[in-house]
Amino acid sequence: MIAYNKTLLINMALLKKAKQWFSRDLITTTQMANVLEKYPTVYFKPNIFIKIGLFLFTLFLVGAALGLFSLFSFSILVNNNSIEGYSIFVSILFGGACIFFLEKFIQWRNWYSNGIDDALLYSALSFIFAAIAFSISNQLNDEDGFLLLCFIFLPFLIAGSVRYIDRVVTLLMMACIYCIYFLLIMKSGSIAKFIMPFAFMALSALFYFVINKQMALASRIHFSGCLKVIKAIALVVFYVSGNYFVIRESSVEFFSLDLSEGQDIPLALIFYAFTAFVPLLYLFFGLKSKDKLMVWVALLLIAVSVLTFKYYFSLGHPEITLTLAGIAMIVLAYVAIKYLVTDKHGITFKDDPNEDNFLKTNAEALVIAQSFSAPAQSSDAGVQMGGGEFGGGGSGNKF
């Protein structure tokens, strides 16, 4: 199912955990050396800057190959076929080629998330999407055409996220699922305006509880990154489904709700309460269960809630409001840091040894980047006067 070497993925997970234990002095240097020897992780792993460069360079190569092929084949193939047929053929050809090279390089070179494989995967999915869009181009002008496009493209996104355990593809897969869900509910007619928020809440809650159970299984360790993406999206969409701003504006946009000045939407108090208290509940349960992902989502949504209420209930003088809010947040952060210097109920401000830190893991790359960005020193120092011992302008003591 997974394209990457499973032994490599297991060794990477074991090595990561061993490094965490070693940093906490739970295992000795000898034991750590034994782990490194017994569970090797030999694969090409560039730093973040080289990875971005390889990603962009691969996209450039794919684009150059597409341009070169089109240059020589367009005039030949388009004479015997239509523009749509030619576009479908080229999209399928290059999508298949990207998948072929992606699979072969993973097998031959033992690649894993080095930028090149990511670029090939995204290029392949882009070509597949283009092929589907060209195939149903005559139907894309209405909702049914877009729904059909999402239905056809969804299996490819599911396959990409499962086989290549890619979080970006997982994000696109969830967006596609929610789009299909939205369009299907819209077909229910006038009742859609009443059931839409609660239907999205129900689907998001289902995703959340299913993913939580899946994350607890040891067999799903390879998919932990993708599962976290789905969980975060489910939390965000559940909140957005009941956010007052989203409900009000979507009712006007999609359901032609006519609101006069000073008039409010139906069940406004429920959506006000939902907007205010759901992020706080996220924060409470995230801290209680020590779920760091839920805590981060809660903090983000608290800011969204504040902006929502600020949009409809402005106190005037935004510069004063922002200044007071900033001071309040600084004070709150300072008090929280002081309070959590020592462990309180299992929560602390200390560094988490189980968390990867970007500055720690990429320190070498940052130093290299800094050295490359240092300004060059000019070798032209100009005319240097002085050096004479007998009053001569720049003369020395030798002839």
- pTM strictly above 0.85: no
Q: Is 178 exposed, middle or buried (CB count within 10 Å of its CB: 0-12, 13-18, 19+)?
A: middle
Tell me the CB-side half-sphere exposure of residue 193, using CA atoms within 13 A: 15
Residue 397 has a pLDDT of: 53
pLDDT band of 353, cuts 50, 70, 90: low
Residue 207 has a pLDDT of: 95
Neighbours of 102 (CB within 10 A): 22
Residue 335 has a pLDDT of: 78
Beta bridge partners of 347: 344
Q: Give the model confidence (pLDDT) of 47-87 as tens digits.
A: 888 889 999 999 999 999 999 988 887 776 666 557 778 88
On the question of pLDDT at 262 being above 70, the answer is: no
More confident residue, 107 or 234: 234
Are the C-beta atoms of 322 and 254 separated by less than 8 Å? Answer: no
**Distance from C-alpha of 67 to C-alpha of 56, rounded to nearest angstrom:** 16
More confident residue, 269 or 353: 269
In this structure, what token pair is assigned to residue 296? 């981060």
Residue 70 identity: S
**Distance from C-alpha of 102 to C-alpha of 190, rounded to nearest angstrom:** 47
Are the C-beta atoms of 176 and 230 separated by less than 8 Å? Answer: no
**Distance from C-alpha of 165 to C-alpha of 81, rounded to nearest angstrom:** 38
- Element spanning 139, H or E: none
On the question of pLDDT at 186 being above 70, the answer is: yes
Residue 128 has a pLDDT of: 94
On the question of pLDDT at 362 being above 50, the answer is: no
pLDDT band of 343, cuts 50, 70, 90: low
Residue 47 has a pLDDT of: 80
On the question of pLDDT at 360 being above 50, the answer is: no
Residues with Cβ within 8 Å of residue 58, at least 6 apart in sequence: 115, 116, 119, 120, 123
More confident residue, 59 or 357: 59
Residue 346 has a pLDDT of: 62
In this structure, what token pair is assigned to residue 374? 């240092």
Residues with Cβ within 8 Å of residue 395, at least 6 apart in sequence: 387, 388
Phi, psi at residue 344, to the nearest 5°?
Answer: -125, 110
On the question of pLDDT at 315 being above 70, the answer is: no
Q: Give the model confidence (pLDDT) of 205-215 as tens digits.
A: 999 999 999 98
Please state the separation of Cα 362 from the chain's center in Å: 19
On the question of pLDDT at 148 being above 50, the answer is: yes
On the question of pLDDT at 121 being above 80, the answer is: yes
Taken in order 359, 228, 124, 85, the sign of the CA dihedral is negative
On the question of pLDDT at 388 being above 60, the answer is: no
Phi, psi at residue 347, to the nearest 5°?
Answer: -115, 135
- Element spanning 143, H or E: helix 143-163
Residue 158 has a pLDDT of: 94
Are the C-beta atoms of 128 and 153 separated by less than 8 Å? Answer: yes
Mean pLDDT of the residues in the chain: 80
The structure tokens 């490359």 sit at 372
Please state, for a pLDDT cut of 70, what percent of the chain lies above it.
Answer: 79
CA 284 to each of CA 17, 20, 69: distance values in angstroms, whole numbers, following the listed order: 28, 27, 57
pLDDT band of 331, cuts 50, 70, 90: confident
Q: Which of 64-78, 99-113, 193-207, 309-323 is least confident?
A: 309-323
Q: What is the mean pLDDT of residues 213-235?
A: 89
Residue 358 has a pLDDT of: 42
Q: What is the mean pLDDT of residues 302-326?
A: 78
On the question of pLDDT at 43 being above 90, the answer is: no
Q: What is the mean pLDDT of residues 254-261?
A: 71
Q: What is the mean pLDDT of residues 362-367?
A: 42
The structure tokens 């409001």 sit at 321
